[in-house]
Amino acid sequence: MNINFAQEVPLSWYLILSAVLFSLGVVGFLIKRNLITVFMSIELMLNGVNLSFVTFAQQWHAVKGQIFVFFVMMVAAAEAAVGLAIIIAVFRVRATLDVDRIDRMKL
Amino acid sequence: MNVVPLWIIPIFPFAGFLINGILGGRLPKWLVTTVALLAPLAACLAVISNTFGFFGVVPVPSFAPRVETCPLPWINVPALHVDFSFVLDQLSLVMLLVVTGVGFLIHVYSVGYMSDDEGYARYFSYLNLFLFFMTVLVLAGNALVMFVGWEGVGLASYLLIGFYFQKKSAADAGKKAFIVNRIGDFGFLIAMFLLVANFGTLTFTEIAAKLGPIGIAPGWTGGVVTVIGLCLLLGAAGKSAQLPLYIWLPDAMEGPTPVSALIHAATMVTAGVYMVARTHVIFDHSPFALGVVATVGAATALFAATIALVQNDIKRVLAYSTISQLGYMFLGCGVAAYSAAIFHLMTHAFFKALLFLAAGSVIHGLGGEQDLRKMGGLWRKLPVTFAVTTVGVLAIAGIYPFAGFFSKDAILYAVFEHGINGKILYSVGLLTALLTAFYMARLWYMAFMGKSRSEEVHAHESPVSMLGPLVILALLSICGGWIGIERFGAFLAPSVGARVAETGGWRFLIPGTQYALSLETVLSIIAVLVALEGWKIADKFYRSKPSRPAQWAAAMPSGYKLLANKYFVDEFYGATVVKPLLGFSNYILGWVAEVGIVGGAAWLIGGVATFAGAILQRWQSGNLRSYAAWLAAGAAAVLLFLLVPWPTVLASLPAIHLGLAGH
Amino acid sequence: MHLILFFVFAGFCLAGAVNLLVQSHPINSALSLIVVMTSLAVLYLMLGAEFLAIAQVIVYAGAIMVLFTFVVMLLNAGREARTRGSKAALAVGFPAVVAILAVIATVILQAQGLGAARLSDGLTDVKGQTNLDQLGAVLFTKLLLPFEVTSVLFLIAILGAVALASHEGSKAERTGEE
């Protein structure tokens, strides 16, 4: 297909960017030891997915994609609130934010 | 008269077995007795009616054998066709008369002998079972039906020998009998396989037709026929207690005495002889096999007679005597004098059953004492038993005119005429006759004559139910041989073949007269003299100087010990066969099966579970990062599974492989 | 123009994401994430989602990341140590990530029918209707129920956060736990 690179950007590039962001989020989840940083990686993942949704909304000129992003943002906000509250509660008990130390159900 | 169908003959004992076996415990004793006696009586009457029918169907002297085949097929494949068929010809008729007649008498005797036993119904059901299988064996028209009867009598024998199964020696004796019989059955089976392979049939008449008379079809002489004959001999040796498979018979005396009389004297052990006579066409075509049969028979006869010289148990003496007499029958078969052997079978059934039943009467009267050294002086206390035992002893010794004389003589005459080997075998037979007379007279003296050595003071005569059969058997022992071998042989000739006299017949001139005696008469006289001599020696040992046996035993201690311990044959077998077999079985069962297979399987299952558990345990570490990693892996797997177009990928794999290889 | 903008802000995204992984102090990671968020907002703008761009800045970068920063400050999280805690994470996780990325990238690159975006592209071709109009039209008519449910969700989240974080020093200083 003909892409006029002067004025257009192929949507697949956006999608690739979104996939890369997602993967970086997963990598962050795997290698980070601080609980808060792990949580931030989760947010990165969510954002990557949001980008993909917006791209597809543009592809098919459907507002549904953006609606989805809207709701994802809402839920991410709520999740962030509750998740950080949990982190604070865990920190109170364990006095550590090290993911490898928080490995027992028994407190 | 209407002829009774042949299958009636076995069906009555079988019905008796079922009724007494299943319901016997709950039926009153008189009912059990009635059922038990009705069975052999009905069988006997059926046989007798068949006898008349036999004679009435076609006039004397040619009788056509009656064949009855069950309409249901048994084996019906292209390679082999076997039916359930019964055949009644002269041979089976004679055998059936002996089996059912003597069987019925022993059933009557058992009523009195076993009246106190709590296994009464069980005993009679087993006895009827035996009779059923024996009649099946005798009536068999082909080797497979005969094998059914063969195995069945082995089973019944096991059940009856081990009748007092609480006693370990009785249970062991039952097992021994069955196992040794099995070894013989192996020979029978191999012979059957060879028959099927070479003749394609197991029916006796068809085999006889294929083999043809001697001289015609020379291709069927020797070779495979010899092998078949030797295998059949192995089977017969197991069943009829010949060397080397005789060891079960003395131990079988653990069973009740009527059992010994019926099975181990009159009927089951003669099944081997019957089988040889039935398959005589095979033996006729193989002189080598015949020679082996004769040698085995003669050797067994002498061997057993020597052991019987020093036995102290009255039943053991009779057991070894049975083995010895069976050796005579095999000797007769071995010189192709089948009718003489069957004649001896018949008379032996009479006097051996008589002797066993009389011994049972003695044991019963003495309250269970079986040791000859503790008997004596019973001629006054048990007069009827004494009289019939005397008749039996005279018969077995071969004194004229009792039954044993005629039959034993017929065999010895046939053996003598059988060429050079025959003369040697004849001398063995004659020596055995001497020993037979000796040890039977010894038994007679030790049990009945002299002073009483037993502690039992209330020895009493047996009831009428026991004495009646004794008297009948005594009468048969007296006149059973009077039919004479010529008429008997002529009667049996269509079924077992006639014996061709080999020599022209010597004649002996009595000096001083013109009379000439035939060889047969001379041999008979010699036999009687030998028997009387044996009796005289026994008299010297056991009556005139009772200390002489002990002196002789002391003079030849090792010889005495050898004989008293039955040549240590049982110990020899135990060491060479039984012990290695038991050791090997224990090894296999105890180590290979128990430890190896079962233990190994248990260890394996446990090990797998533990191992899997150990692995899975490490997986659940609680570590967030590893959980995340596995989550990612799972997600990757799902994505791969869903998004990769596997068919095209898999199809293009060879292309990739080839492409890489090209580089 | 579009291309240059795309490269610049995509570059910022990637740089921020990589920096998030590389930094050892969580506050640095939080700030990198803010960079990512705002770059993404510009990208949304280029894709014709104006409202979402603003929402991204206000909600994500402005509220959520501030929350993260507050928590980092409150808990006084320090630099994290660089020791290995789980071998499985590296041995199993990295190949999984690579596989995910490879599959998705392959699917995307081989997909037919993906178009291109222009700066001038709105979401739809309806004249006179802005992106916000379109969103509002759907959100307050067809998806009114989920919208209201979302508000309930927020209520629950607030309650939950307050309940979880409100215990004051009950099982805090545990000795022996490092």
Q: Are B632 and A30 in contact (CB under 8 A)?
A: yes
pLDDT, tens digit (0-9, with 9 covering 90-100), for B68-102: 777 777 888 887 888 888 888 888 888 888 888 88
CB contact under 8 A, A38 and B621: no
pLDDT at B457 over 70: no
Residues C107-135 have a mean pLDDT of: 75
pLDDT of residue B58: 41
Whether residue C175 lies inside any domain: the answer is no
pLDDT of B65 strictly over 60: yes
- Residue B149's nearest CA partner among B160, B163, B135, B162 is B135
Q: Residue A93 and residue C119: Cβ atoms within 8 Å?
A: no
Q: Is the pLDDT of residue B520 over 50?
A: yes
Torsion of CA C91, C93, C99, C104, to 10 degrees: -170
Mean pLDDT confidence for B207-211:
79
- B574-620 pLDDT, tens digit per residue, is 788 888 888 888 888 877 777 778 888 898 999 999 999 998 888 88
Residue whose pair of structure tokens reads 């005789």 in the numeric block: B246
Q: Which of B370-379, B624-633, C111-120 has the highest mean pLDDT?
A: B624-633
Domain-located, residue C141: no
When the pLDDT of each residue in chain C is averaged and rounded to a whole number, the result is 84
Closest chain B C-alpha to C82 CA, distance in angstroms:
14
Total count of domains within chain C: 1
* Chain A, nearest residue to B621 by Cα: A103
* The pLDDT of residue C128: 65
Structural domain contains residue C103: yes
pLDDT score, position B656 = 63
Could you tell me which chain C residue has the CA closest to the CA of A55? C47
Give the residue, C169 or B625, on which the prediction is more confident. B625
Contacts of C66 (CB under 8 A, 6+ apart): none
- Residue C43 placed within a domain: yes
Closest CA to B358 of B444, B451, B437: B444
What's the rounded Cα separation, in Å, for the pair C38 and A53? 17
Q: What is the pLDDT of residues B104-157, one digit of tens each?
A: 888 888 888 888 778 888 888 899 999 999 999 998 888 899 999 999 999 999
Is A29's CB within 8 Å of B621's CB?
Answer: no
Cross-chain residue pair B632–C88, CB shorter than 8 Å: no
Inter-chain touch C1–A7, beta carbons under 8 Å: yes
The stretch B347-360 carries a mean pLDDT of: 90
Task: Using a CB–CB cutoff of 8 Å, tell me whether C93 touches chain B.
Answer: yes
pLDDT score at C85: 60
Q: How confident is the model at residue C174 (pLDDT cuts 50, 70, 90)?
A: very low
Mean pLDDT of C67-81: 83
Q: Is residue B80 within a helix (H) or strand (E), and if so which, with residue range? A: strand B80-88
Mean pLDDT of all residues belonging to chain B: 82
Question: What is the predicted pLDDT for the residue at B610?
Answer: 93
User: Which residues, including other chains, have CB under 8 Å from residue B549's CB and lie 6 or more apart?
Assistant: B541, B542
Length of chain C: 178
Domain span at residue C117 reads 2-79+86-122
| Chain-chain contact of C75 with A87 (C-beta, under 8 angstroms) | yes
Mean pLDDT, chain A, integer: 88
Distances from the Cα of B566 to the Cα of B130, B196, B255, B317, B359, angstroms: 29, 39, 20, 12, 22
> In A, which residues are within 8 Å of C119 by CB distance?
7
pTM for this one? 0.68
**β pairing state of A8-10 and B507-509:** unpaired
User: Do the chains contact at A29 and B623, CB–CB below 8 Å?
Assistant: no
Name all domains of chain A by residue range, CATH numbers in brackets. 11-94 (1.10.287.3510)
Residue B596 has, within 13 A of its CA and on its CB side, a CA count of 7
**Token code pair at residue B108:** 């009557």
pLDDT at residue B376 in the model: 77
Whether chain B has a CB inside 8 Å of the CB on C59: the answer is no
- CATH number of the structural domain spanning residue C29: 1.20.120.1200
User: Is residue B456 over pLDDT 80?
Assistant: no
Query: Please, which pLDDT band fits residue C80 given cuts at 50, 70 and 90?
Result: low
- Supply the pLDDT for residue C42: 93
Strand partners, B81: B76
Contact C103 B640 (CB under 8 A): yes
Q: Are B246 and B300 in contact (CB under 8 A)?
A: yes
Instruction: Kindly report which listed range (B9-13, C80-84, C132-136) carries the lowest average pLDDT score.
Output: C80-84
C155: in domain: no
The first and second tokens of residue C168, run together, are: 């004051």
Contact B32, B84 (CB under 8 A): no
Radius of gyration for the alpha carbons in chain A, expressed in angstroms and rounded: 18
Rounded CA separation B643/C104 (Å): 8
Contact A93 C169 (CB under 8 A): no
Q: Does any CB of chain A come closer than 8 Å to the CB of residue C149?
A: no
Residue A16 pLDDT more than 90? Answer: yes
Q: Judge whether C109 is closer than 8 Å to chain B, CB to CB.
A: no
Position B59 scores a pLDDT of 38
Query: What's the pLDDT tens digit per position in C37-68?
Result: 999 999 998 888 889 999 999 999 999 999 99
pLDDT (average), residues A86-100: 86
The tens digit of pLDDT for each residue in B411-449 reads 888 888 877 777 888 889 999 999 999 889 888 888 887
Joined tokens for residue B400: 């004229």
Residue C104 resides in a domain: yes
Mean pLDDT of C103-124: 78
In a domain, C95, yes or no: yes
For residues C42 and C37, what is the distance between their CA atoms, to the nearest angstrom?
Answer: 9
First to last CA, chain C: 54
Q: Min CA distance, B615 vs chain A (Å)?
A: 18
Cβ–Cβ contact C75 with B under 8 A: no
DSSP assignment, residue C81? P
Residue B527: CB partners within 8 Å, gap ≥ 6? B398, B405, B408, B409, B412, B430, B433
Chain B, 586-645: which have a CB under 8 Å from a chain A CB? 621-625, 628-629, 632
Which DSSP letter does residue C149 get?
A: H
Looking at this predicted complex, what is its ipTM? Answer: 0.90
Q: Report pLDDT for C145.
A: 93
Greatest CA separation found in chain B? Answer: 132
Confidence band for C177, pLDDT divided at 50, 70 and 90: very low
Q: Calculate what percentage of chain B has a pLDDT beyond 90.
A: 14
User: Which of C90, C96, C104 lies closest to B633 in CB terms?
Assistant: C96
C160 belongs to a structural domain: no
Count CA within 13 A, CB hemisphere, residue A34.
27
Which chain B residues contact residue C92 at CB under 8 A? 626, 629-630, 632-633
B663 pLDDT more than 50: no
How far apart CA C33 and CA A46 sit, in angstroms, is 12
Test A16 with C109 for CB contact under 8 angstroms: yes
